[in-house]
Structure 1
Amino acid sequence: MARRALILVEGHSRIGLLYVKAAQRLGVHPITLSADPARYEYLAAEGSEAIRVDTDNLDALIRECSRLRATYDIAGITGFAGDDELIYATVGELCRYFGLPGPNPASIERCCNKFTQRQILAEAGVPMPAYRLAANAAEVESAAAQIGLPVVLKPVLGSGSIGVRLCRNVDDLAEHATYLLSGRHIWRSSLRILVEEFAQGPHYSADIMGNEVIGIEAAEFGPPPHFIFREYTHPAPLTDEEYRRIADVSLSCLQALGLGWGPSFVEFRWTKRGPVVIEVNPRIAGGANPQLVQLAYGVDLVTEHIKLVVGEAWDLRKRHSQTAGARFLIADRDGTLDWISGDSQAAALPGVVEVELYAKSKTPIVRKGDYRDRIGHVVAASLNRAPIAAILERAVDLVSWSITPFPTPGEQEQSEAPPPAPAVVTLRNS
């Protein structure tokens, strides 16, 4: 009998290893198809099978999966969005071609286009910030004038807060619009920008499997103008009524967008109007989120997702209730990371579940204003909510690092200049 295999389209720096290990526990052989398997260090570390293939080419993926079927029983296909959420739509196309369970690719594509998503949700009466679509600097300026500053500028396609910035005045607006329209940002489509009202209030997100809300987390950002998540807490400190309102709006979003198969998460701001939708994501959340859900509720989102993918019955029953939180370490300047230490001491603290450092000594740090600026995280869990923030604070305080700024052009020229010629000393006979 052929060995059962799970095809993973691309990988993921934070949760890819979770999928590889969960598949192995379920007795399914994971095979990663990637344009560059070397990007994902865990593949080599685990000795996990990986094949180089152009993952932007659906026909190439179909050919590779067809070749693999000669050796394996392909039980399921899934993948990771990474910086390109449309990969998940490609996963849906592959599943349809091979008659396997999977997401609706048309729904995924509609959801991944932030402007189309906004239009669909608006038609369904979902509460959202005011928004406009812009294709050039003049349209950005006009949209911001109609909405009123401050506004948020973001690419129509993308994830991980890449290219997303708060613009408080016309100078911020002009600077970031120029950046997004200059081509320095990586685009998959034409240069289009979403201009949105800055919805102010606490940030929450609902983790969903199928049509069931597993939990709602609270999140905090680092300093503006960027939107880099600094801390997560599961469950969020909500009243029963607040929880119900967020859960109801979340499920309304899925219905409007034609989602509801597999994992998704919906982001909110709680404003004077109540919960307004910032974004619907048709995939499992990355980072530390799956781990927090498991610690808080006893639901392993990754394992249950794989069960769905390979046609097995999932189990979303909550097995316990405690508080789990994560704090991210964020680089505070550009330069060379001289050293980073203290992770062992932090990991030894009571309540700390994990300390992971992403960056190594002598690594160049170039901040981008998105999730890639994070250089590590601390995860903690507690039976009570109150100690979580204190546990995370104590742990983070034990981790320290040093970043030496890159030399300025003048300093660089000086360092590259040849050393002065040694002085010539002439010895004379008396």
Structure 2
Amino acid sequence: MTTSASVRPAPRYAVFVEAPFTGAGQDCARFLLERGVTPIVLASRPQAMPASLLHDFTGLGVEIRRCDTDSADAIVAVCRELAAQGELVGVTSVYEYYCDMGAEVAARLGLAGPDPAAVAVCRSKAAMRRAMAQVPGLNPDFVVCASIEAAVEAAAEVGYPVVVKPVDLTGSLFVRRCDTAEQVAEITRQVMELGEYLGHAVEPEVVVEECVVGAEYSAEVMHGKVLGLTEKICSAPPLFLEMGHVFPAPVGGDLERLLVTKAEQAVKAIGVTWGPAHVELKLTGDGSDARVIEVNGRIAGDRIPELVRIASGVEITRLHMTALLGGAPDLTLACEQTAAVHFLMLEPSGRLDAIDGIAEAEAMEGVHEAHLRPGVQPGLVYEANGSNRDRSAWIIAEGADRDEALGRARAAGTRLTFTWSAADPAGVR
């Protein structure tokens, strides 16, 4: 005779559409596993995922299932199979290129999640600008252009210097400051001719924007409320590579209120008021105002969630997963120390022969992580493309304040050495 005490509860599943490279997927999976929920990662090409990512998910016991992740119907079919085996409690994505897909599938299945249309707006810099235009002072001056000629005309209208951006890429790829019509024409031509990137079709459009020259920050947002502000450390123009982040940003008073207000206005204007959002902002030249650079309908990348955890004890991924499971996350956050991430860069081109110093960097005072970017290993043949993919590694450190945390991360970075040699351009990645 079977008693009720011996009946095993039905399994509970949460589906992730693809996974980013910087740890958010693994962090979400750990939280779900602690609560008896089985995470399933859907990937179009599991064999092409970075070895470190596969290693982490295997160690957690997380299944990676092959699926056409560009098809909502295919994802829905997998989800219904899981629902027939147990309870499907959530569908999402924490990977930039698939956040809109995760939201669309969740909505189709009647599960918790953000407005799919709002997340789709975040995937297009053109749609994002148009949505925020309803609130004066959020956008810099901008023009959306579908030809080289239009981009050159727009730059003259906006006034040099300008920033030219593809409408649907991420990681600062092909984002350039331009000071002349020739520079505008050249970067626009490159975007128009790109065709695809990482397997995704690239829209042959650019946004030509006013160049906002002040300090840069990001706001980490949950359910439309700013949890905290991050200082962003960027490369020199014409590129806009993110070289480091500090949380919490050393701001207060009127400046903090300005950035928080602008970020919350931006997510409200777009409609991303459920779950996480990451809003990037820059101060105007005199520091009296700010403009929104972009809004991402997801958790921040670049290990910013880990900085938040170290500084405050709050894990943004857990807040997101709490909401996914139907709970009400606690949106209060207080920091007792500062955390910083410092990025190291690959050589402009060549073959990577050896990497040394990881253990020494990790052993330094205050260091939490010394980590190679997925795919960076001896034998890599590389040519820089002016995006965040040009990074070789990151160091995360804590400190009593900004200078101590960032100083420790940068000092640890000097312990890493990368040995390069010339390489055949035909083998470049």
- TM-score, normalised on structure 2? 0.90
1:354 aligned residue: 369
* Structure 2 residue 229 is the aligned partner of structure 1 residue 221: no
* Structure 2 residue 245 is the aligned partner of structure 1 residue 259: no
2: distance between equivalents of 1:127 and 1:63?
Answer: 40
2: distance between equivalents of 1:17 and 1:408?
Answer: 35
User: What secondary structure is seen at the aligned counterpart in 2 of 1:355?
Assistant: strand
2:298 aligned residue: 283
Query: Which whole-Å deviations, capped at 9, do the CAs of 1:225-245 have from their partners, x for residues lacking one?
Result: 222110100111213211111
* Structure 2 residue 262 is the aligned partner of structure 1 residue 249: yes
Query: Which whole-Å deviations, capped at 9, do the CAs of 1:194-241 have from their partners, x for residues lacking one?
Result: 111111011100001112211101111123322211010011121321
Unaligned runs of 5+ in 2: 1-8
Shift, 1:400, TM fit: 1.3
* Structure 2 residue 12 is the aligned partner of structure 1 residue 4: yes
The partner residue of 1:387 within 390, 401, 404 is 404
Task: Check whether the contact 1:307–1:314 (CA below 8 A) recurs between aligned residues.
Answer: yes
* Structure 2 residue 415 is the aligned partner of structure 1 residue 398: yes
User: What secondary structure is seen at the aligned counterpart in 2 of 1:162?
Assistant: coil
Matches within 5 A, 1:308-319: 308-318=323-333
Judged with a 3 Å threshold, the aligned counterparts in structure 2 of structure 1 residues 185 and 250 are, in CA distance, closer, same or farther, namely same
1: distance between equivalents of 2:425 and 2:94?
Answer: 39
Query: Which whole-Å deviations, capped at 9, do the CAs of 1:264-306 have from their partners, x for residues lacking one?
Result: 0111111124111111111111121110011112210011111
Task: Check whether the contact 1:165–1:225 (CA below 8 A) recurs between aligned residues.
Answer: yes
| RMSD of aligned alpha carbons | 1.8
2: distance between equivalents of 1:368 and 1:72?
Answer: 45
The one-letter code of the counterpart of 2:91 is: I
2: distance between equivalents of 1:377 and 1:147?
Answer: 36
Shift, 1:163, TM fit: 2.2
The one-letter code of the counterpart of 1:276 is: R
Query: Which whole-Å deviations, capped at 9, do the CAs of 1:379-403 have from their partners, x for residues lacking one?
Result: 0011233312321221111111122
Shift, 1:47, TM fit: 3.5
2:21 aligned residue: 13
2:252 aligned residue: 239
Shift, 1:407, TM fit: 4.2
Shift, 1:254, TM fit: 1.5
Judged with a 3 Å threshold, the aligned counterparts in structure 2 of structure 1 residues 132 and 320 are, in CA distance, closer, same or farther, namely closer
1: distance between equivalents of 2:303 and 2:158?
Answer: 34
* Structure 2 residue 164 is the aligned partner of structure 1 residue 153: yes
* Structure 2 residue 33 is the aligned partner of structure 1 residue 24: yes
Judged with a 3 Å threshold, the aligned counterparts in structure 2 of structure 1 residues 26 and 126 are, in CA distance, closer, same or farther, namely farther
User: What secondary structure is seen at the aligned counterpart in 1 of 2:369?
Assistant: strand
Query: Which whole-Å deviations, capped at 9, do the CAs of 1:88-108 have from their partners, x for residues lacking one?
Result: 222222212222111101111
2:103 aligned residue: 92
User: What secondary structure is seen at the aligned counterpart in 1 of 2:151?
Assistant: helix
Unaligned runs of 5+ in 1: 413-430
Task: Check whether the contact 1:149–1:167 (CA below 8 A) recurs between aligned residues.
Answer: yes
The one-letter code of the counterpart of 1:162 is: L
Task: Check whether the contact 2:192–2:204 (CA below 8 A) recurs between aligned residues.
Answer: yes
Task: Check whether the contact 1:299–1:316 (CA below 8 A) recurs between aligned residues.
Answer: no
2:182 aligned residue: 171
Judged with a 3 Å threshold, the aligned counterparts in structure 2 of structure 1 residues 221 and 320 are, in CA distance, closer, same or farther, namely closer
Task: Check whether the contact 2:351–2:423 (CA below 8 A) recurs between aligned residues.
Answer: yes
Shift, 1:121, TM fit: 1.1
Task: Check whether the contact 2:169–2:202 (CA below 8 A) recurs between aligned residues.
Answer: no
* Structure 2 residue 356 is the aligned partner of structure 1 residue 341: yes
The one-letter code of the counterpart of 1:202 is: A
Deviates more, 1:91-100 or 1:181-190: 181-190
Task: Check whether the contact 1:126–1:253 (CA below 8 A) recurs between aligned residues.
Answer: no
1: distance between equivalents of 2:320 and 2:103?
Answer: 14
The one-letter code of the counterpart of 1:31 is: I
Query: Which whole-Å deviations, capped at 9, do the CAs of 1:351-400 have from their partners, x for residues lacking one?
Result: 11111012111111221211111111000011233312321221111111
1:327 aligned residue: 342
User: What secondary structure is seen at the aligned counterpart in 1 of 2:260?
Assistant: helix
Identity within the alignment, %: 30
Deviates more, 1:238-247 or 1:40-49: 40-49
Residues paired across the two proteins, number? 407
Query: Which whole-Å deviations, capped at 9, do the CAs of 1:317-354 have from their partners, x for residues lacking one?
Result: 33542111000011132111111111111111111111
Judged with a 3 Å threshold, the aligned counterparts in structure 2 of structure 1 residues 63 and 247 are, in CA distance, closer, same or farther, namely same
Task: Check whether the contact 1:78–1:102 (CA below 8 A) recurs between aligned residues.
Answer: yes
2: distance between equivalents of 1:257 and 1:244?
Answer: 20
2: distance between equivalents of 1:385 and 1:183?
Answer: 39
Query: Which whole-Å deviations, capped at 9, do the CAs of 1:9-37 have from their partners, x for residues lacking one?
Result: 11111122222222212321110111112
Judged with a 3 Å threshold, the aligned counterparts in structure 2 of structure 1 residues 223 and 67 are, in CA distance, closer, same or farther, namely same
User: What secondary structure is seen at the aligned counterpart in 2 of 1:70?
Assistant: helix
